[in-house]
């Protein structure tokens, strides 16, 4: 990939023409300019944001203004052709409004000029520019562009502040040539850990008040309740009334026993119906109370995540088989569900018949003192049965949730082992970027040592730490960021996983000593020539002058022929100022 030009359909916009190697986009600043000036007074940072936007990024907040609503940004660049080893001169246009469409022309990967949805444009860039596997969920195009066209400088390894550690590991590992399918295991593990945390948090906050995860305690409570229920059942069986109502009592006992048997069968059928429904729905219903439902909507979404299974073949090779299996499984379950429901309907009707018959008999016994005792015992027995059934359900739920812990332990061991094996397998190649990092750091700092540390964490994440000895100042962090980006790009180019472009906004160098900035620019220019990539740096003229005076650097061979200044309203990139 090669970036030739960047511009806008607005005639006031100053088109940027780029060259090979190092490109310096320099803005002249007035001596009295201060931080109170308009943020788009020269447009250095806007150049970076426009490039990210046309290449599939989100519209920057500062561009969401009526002053830019009619702008259409465009870039002219070379992209991989269908002819192996060749590139096409491609013209890409993306308007400020609407943001969802991208016009692409001149690319042989397409049948002709096309008006694409931005998501389709991102898929094409992922596939043909970064060679990302189609089935890889990470790294995303945004992660990779964020590393090569930086707008975030908080941490050397992260493309943006909210990027998770496992996503960072997958992104950098991909550029370094490691297998993404192995690195993605850390993401699967992270999802399980978050699911467990969400469940336990909901229980702790009382959102799922009926659920506890202490299986031994639940088993002890259930055993106690069952024993009380069985004793009560025996007392009811032996219960006697006055002699003159012996036959009525015997009939009532028999009816009660029949009803109890039906109840037992109904409980078993209800449990089976629940199992079938869970199989069909593949989700866990934790029965969140209505008043807390909104607050915990996210929790329930995470509760619905099915524990992932390992898939060893591509989806398109087994799709037909899966559909057949799932269809047959669904038909079987629905047939069984219908049978269960039919039997439950019969039980309900029969139970009502028996209960009505028993009620008639009990009416004859209503005046007996013994009958009151009998009815109290029946109510107690029914309560004990309900409590036992509730404890059984809670024990099943606790067992299923606690099984996540076992899954996490197994998944963690598997992930750590796989990532370690991948690092070991690629260790010979990884020596290249590791040693290059140290060499470049020594060129910048003669009095500091530096190391690129590559390892796996206890949770199976690939961890890459660019470490320069020192006081962890903003200046050292800036150098670490520069080195990490350069190493990532060089490795990505060697592995066929990155385009030949690196863009650094001037903010990266703000806290770095001017002598070190000169070293960084010299390194960037040399490596750009050596590996055939474009290195674009935006910088203010006064800062660059200090770099040249204090360090060994000459701007002249690398200057972009573009006059940007904050001296007047039309001197910036856009040709006018806006808020």
Over residues 502-513, the pLDDT tens digits come to 999 999 999 999
pLDDT surpassing 80 at residue 223:
yes
Q: Determine the average pLDDT of the residues in 234-242.
A: 65
pLDDT surpassing 80 at residue 32:
no
pTM: 0.68
Angle CA 195–207–189, to nearest 5: 5
Contacts of 391 (CB under 8 A, 6+ apart): 218, 221, 222, 225
Structure tokens belonging to residue 150 = 């930086």
Distance CA 296, CA 35 (A): 43
Q: What is the pLDDT of residue 438?
A: 96
Q: What is the pLDDT of residue 202?
A: 53
Give percent above pLDDT 70 in the chain: 83
pLDDT surpassing 70 at residue 563:
yes
Distance CA 17, CA 8 (A): 13
The DSSP element (H or E) to which 16 belongs, if any, is: strand 16-17
Q: What is the pLDDT of residue 204?
A: 59
What is the 3-state secondary structure of 47-97? HHHHHHHHCCCCCCHHHCCHHHCCCEEEEEEEEECCCCCCEEEEEEEEECC
Q: Determine the average pLDDT of the residues in 349-373.
A: 71
Q: What is the pLDDT of residue 200?
A: 63
Distance CA 145, CA 156 (A): 14
Task: Tally the C-alpha atoms within 13 A of residue 275's C-alpha that lie toward its C-beta.
Answer: 11
CB 125 within 8 A of CB 56: yes
**What is the full DSSP assignment across 194-234?**
HHHHHHHHHHHTTTTTT----HHHHHHHHHHHHHHHHHHHH
Q: Work out the mean pLDDT of the chain and round it to a whole number.
A: 84
For the chain, the helix, strand and coil percentages under 3-state DSSP, each to the nearest 5: 55, 10, 30
pLDDT surpassing 80 at residue 196:
no
Taking only the tens place, the pLDDT of each residue in 118-135 is 999 999 999 999 999 988
Give the pLDDT band of residue 371 (cuts 50, 70, 90): low
Give the pLDDT band of residue 247 (cuts 50, 70, 90): low
Distance CA 530, CA 114 (A): 35
Contacts of 502 (CB under 8 A, 6+ apart): 148, 149, 485, 486, 489, 524, 528, 533, 534, 535, 536
Taking only the tens place, the pLDDT of each residue in 74-85 is 999 999 999 998
Give the pLDDT band of residue 254 (cuts 50, 70, 90): confident
Give the pLDDT band of residue 299 (cuts 50, 70, 90): very low
Sheet holding 534-540, edge to edge: 501-504, 534-540, 22-28, 564-565
Taking only the tens place, the pLDDT of each residue in 486-529 is 999 999 999 999 999 999 999 999 999 999 999 999 999 999 99
């Amino acid at each position: 990939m090669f970036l030739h030009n960047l511009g806008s359909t607005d005639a006031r916009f100053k088109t940027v023409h780029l060259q090979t190697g190092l490109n310096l986009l320099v803005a002249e600043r007035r001596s009295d300019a201060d931080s109170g000036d308009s943020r788009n007074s020269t447009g250095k940072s806007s150049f970076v944001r426009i490039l990210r936007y046309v290449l599939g990024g989100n519209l920057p907040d500062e561009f969401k203004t009526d002053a830019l609503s009619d702008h259409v940004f465009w870039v002219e660049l070379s992209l991989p052709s269908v002819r192996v080893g060749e590139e096409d001169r491609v013209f890409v246009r993306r308007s400020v409004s609407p943001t969802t469409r991208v016009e692409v022309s001149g690319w042989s990967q397409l049948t002709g000029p096309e008006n694409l949805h931005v998501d389709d444009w991102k898929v094409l860039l992922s596939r043909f520019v970064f060679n990302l596997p189609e089935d890889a969920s990470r790294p995303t195009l945004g992660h990779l562009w964020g590393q090569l066209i930086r707008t975030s400088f908080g941490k050397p390894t992260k493309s943006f502040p909210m990027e998770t550690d496992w996503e960072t590991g997958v992104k950098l590992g991909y550029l370094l040539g490691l297998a993404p399918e192995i690195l993605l295991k850390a993401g699967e593990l992270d999802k399980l850990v978050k699911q467990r945390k969400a469940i336990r948090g909901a229980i702790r906050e009382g959102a799922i008040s009926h659920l506890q995860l202490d299986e031994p305690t639940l088993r002890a409570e259930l055993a106690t309740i069952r024993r009380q229920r069985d004793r009560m059942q025996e007392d009811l069986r032996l219960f006697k009334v006055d002699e003159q109502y012996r036959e009525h009592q015997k009939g009532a006992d028999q009816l009660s026993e029949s009803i109890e048997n039906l109840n037992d069968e109904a409980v078993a059928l209800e449990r089976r119906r629940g199992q079938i429904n869970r199989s069909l729905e593949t989700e866990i219903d934790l029965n969140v109370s209505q008043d807390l439902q909104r607050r915990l909507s996210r929790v329930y979404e995470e509760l619905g995540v099915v524990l992932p299974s390992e898939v060893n073949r591509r989806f398109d090779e087994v799709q037909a088989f899966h559909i057949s299996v799932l269809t047959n499984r669904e038909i079987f379950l629905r047939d069984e569900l219908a049978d269960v429901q039919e039997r439950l309907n019969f039980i309900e009707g029969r139970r009502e018949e028996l209960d009505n018959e028993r009620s008639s008999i009990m009416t004859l016994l209503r005046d007996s003192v013994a009958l009151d005792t009998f009815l109290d015992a029946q109510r107690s027995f029914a309560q004990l049965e309900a409590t036992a059934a509730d404890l059984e359900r809670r024990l099943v739920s606790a067992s299923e949730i606690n099984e996540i812990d076992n899954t996490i332990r197994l998944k963690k061991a598997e992930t750590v082992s796989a990532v370690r094996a991948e690092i070991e397998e690629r260790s010979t190649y990884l020596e290249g970027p590791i040693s290059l990092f140290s060499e470049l750091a020594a060129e910048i700092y003669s009095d500091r040592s530096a190391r690129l540390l590559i390892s796996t964490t206890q949770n199976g994440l690939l961890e890459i730490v660019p470490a320069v000895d020192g006081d962890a100042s903003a200046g050292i962090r800036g150098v670490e960021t520069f080195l990490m980006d350069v190493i990532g790009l060089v490795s990505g180019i060697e592995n066929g996983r990155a385009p030949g472009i690196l863009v650094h906004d001037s903010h990266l160098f703000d806290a770095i000593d001017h002598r070190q900035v000169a070293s960084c620019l010299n390194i960037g220019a040399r490596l750009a020539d050596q590996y055939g990539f474009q290195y674009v740096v935006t910088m203010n003229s006064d800062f660059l002058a200090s770099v040249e005076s204090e360090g060994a650097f000459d701007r002249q061979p690398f200057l972009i022929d573009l006059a940007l200044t904050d001296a007047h309203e039309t001197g910036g990139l856009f040709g006018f100022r806006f808020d």
